Amino acid sequence: MAHEETVYEALDHAHSDEGHWAFGTGFDEPLAGVDTTVPEGVDPADLGEYCLMLGDDALVLAQRLTQWITNAPELEEEVAIGNIALDLLGQARLLLARAGSVGVLGRSRERATESIPDEDALAYFRDPDEFRCTALVEAENGDFAHTMLRLLAAATVRLAVLARLRESRDPVLAAIAAKGVNELTYHRDHAARWVLRLGDGTEESHRRAQAGAEAVWPLLADVFSATPTEQRLAAGGIAVDPAEVRGEVHAVLTEVLGRATLTVPGWPADAPPRGRLGEHGPELAELLDELQGLAREHPAATW
């Protein structure tokens, strides 16, 4: 976080082995050539549900970030935010494709045409109660400081989970996690740099950064609460119990806020994982109207 580097240089370094920035682009079938056999002893419905949890978090946060395009404070930041959103969209594509490969399509397939890929059916043709994302990613953006505090928290949680998922017994999840860790390391670093810049900047930027932290911290209440699905899969070496990453997440966020001269808000008590169970506020419905509108109006269209 201490080195001076333009956003363009950071993007180039973060993806120097790729030839493109956006994870998940450049191919038609996201799981082409990958063995998608469900590991022995694993319920496909559980595996699909877990992939929805991880995929929906990425998809919804990506959509929130794209709302900053043309609104970010700097042109370089628009490029950076767009790149982060594309990384998350690529992760979502793979995870939703994995969910589709084990048969978790439900009503989304009934609403979509047969020619639409599974990941698109899941992204564009599910209703809010079918989404499994947390409040942390679905909440409205707020101002730029608020967004950077939310991105810092979300990237820290997701990085801690995916780092452990590299050892998953499901080879697809393990491969997605191995790639995602590199991207999420950049996402967390980028957000942390902004938090430092804002928190230790002017009186106004400090005030806004502190207000962002106060708004984001309550959204962590259900992040570390496991659903029965997560508990079963974690016991079988497939998933990560989110409670396992609480200590790491607390330590990272406490360190960054301390360096940014910000006060760490009180950590909320654990709450039931309502978002993981399909219980959401009206803000998700509004976001999905924006995300899904074109696809639902023209379900047979290709572009």
Residue 14: inside a domain:
no
Q: What per-residue confidence (pLDDT) applies to 19?
A: 36
Tokens of 209: 């950064």
Task: Establish if 281 belongs to a structural domain.
Answer: yes
* Count of the separate structural domains present in the chain: 1
For residue 290, the enclosing domain spans 42-297
What's residue 90's pLDDT?
95
Taking only the tens place, the pLDDT of each residue in 54-67 is 999 999 999 999 99
Q: Are the CB atoms for 273 and 57 separated by under 8 Å?
A: no
In a domain, 28, yes or no: no
Answer yes or no: is pLDDT of 17 > 50.
no
Over 50: is that where the pLDDT of 16 sits?
no
Summarised one tens digit per residue, pLDDT across range 71-93 is 988 888 999 999 999 999 999 99
CB distance 224 to 242 below 8 Å: yes
Q: Which two tokens stand for residue 188?
A: 């967390």
Got the DSSP string for 59-98? HHHHHHHHTTTTTSSSHHHHHHHHHHHHHHHHHHHHHHHH
Three-class DSSP category at 127: coil
pLDDT, average across residues 5-34: 48
List phi, psi (to 5°) of 105: -125, -40
Round to whole Å and give the CA distance between 225 and 235.
15
Q: Is 44's pLDDT higher than 80?
A: yes
Tell whether 266 is covered by a domain.
yes
In-domain check, residue 264:
yes
> Could you tell me which of 56, 122, 67, 111 has the C-alpha nearest to residue 89?
56
pLDDT score of 224 more than 60 = yes
Plot region of 237 (φ>0 → left; ψ -120 to 50 → alpha; else → beta): left
Q: How confident is the model at residue 30 (pLDDT cuts 50, 70, 90)?
A: confident
Single-letter amino acid code for the residue at 257: L
Among 1-15, 37-51, 152-166, whose mean pLDDT is lowest? Answer: 1-15
Question: Cα(161)–Cα(272) distance, rounded to whole angstroms?
Answer: 19
Residues 223 and 294: their CA atoms lie apart, in Å, by 31
Residue whose C-alpha is closest to residue 5's, from 189, 247, 268, 260: 189
Lowest mean pLDDT among 14-23, 166-175, 285-294: 14-23
Stated length of the chain = 303
More confident residue, 137 or 107: 137
The reported pLDDT for the residue numbered 300 is 73
Cα–Cα distances (Å) from 47 to 72, 135, 165, in that order, read 37, 22, 13
Q: Please choose, from the candidates 228, 226, 88, 238, the residue with its C-alpha nearest in 3D space to the C-alpha of residue 172.
A: 238
What pLDDT shows up at residue 28? 59
Q: Encode pLDDT of 167-222 as tens digits.
A: 999 999 999 999 999 999 999 999 999 999 999 999 999 999 999 999 999 999 99
The sign of the dihedral angle between the CA atoms of 18, 176, 77, 122 is positive
- 302 pLDDT band, cuts 50/70/90, is low
pLDDT tens-digit series, residues 228-275: 999 999 999 999 999 999 999 999 999 999 999 999 999 999 999 999
Rounded Cα gap, residues 152 and 52, in angstroms: 22
d(CA 218, CA 249) in angstroms, rounded, equals 14
Q: Which CATH number does the domain housing residue 206 bear? A: 1.20.1260.10
Cα–Cα dist 146/2, whole Å? 22
Q: Is 21 contained in some domain? A: no
29 occurs within a structural domain: no
Tens-place pLDDT, residues 115-173: 788 898 899 999 999 999 999 999 999 999 999 999 999 999 999 999 999 999 999 99
Task: Please check whether residue 149 lies inside any domain of the structure.
Answer: yes
Among 1-15, 34-48, 153-167, 286-300, which is the least confidently predicted range?
Answer: 1-15
Q: What is the pLDDT of residue 9?
A: 47
Look at residue 109 in the predicted model and tell me its pLDDT. 73
b/e code 193-204 from CB counts within 10 Å (16+ = b): bbbbebbeeeee
Which pLDDT score, from 0 to 100, does residue 232 have? Answer: 98
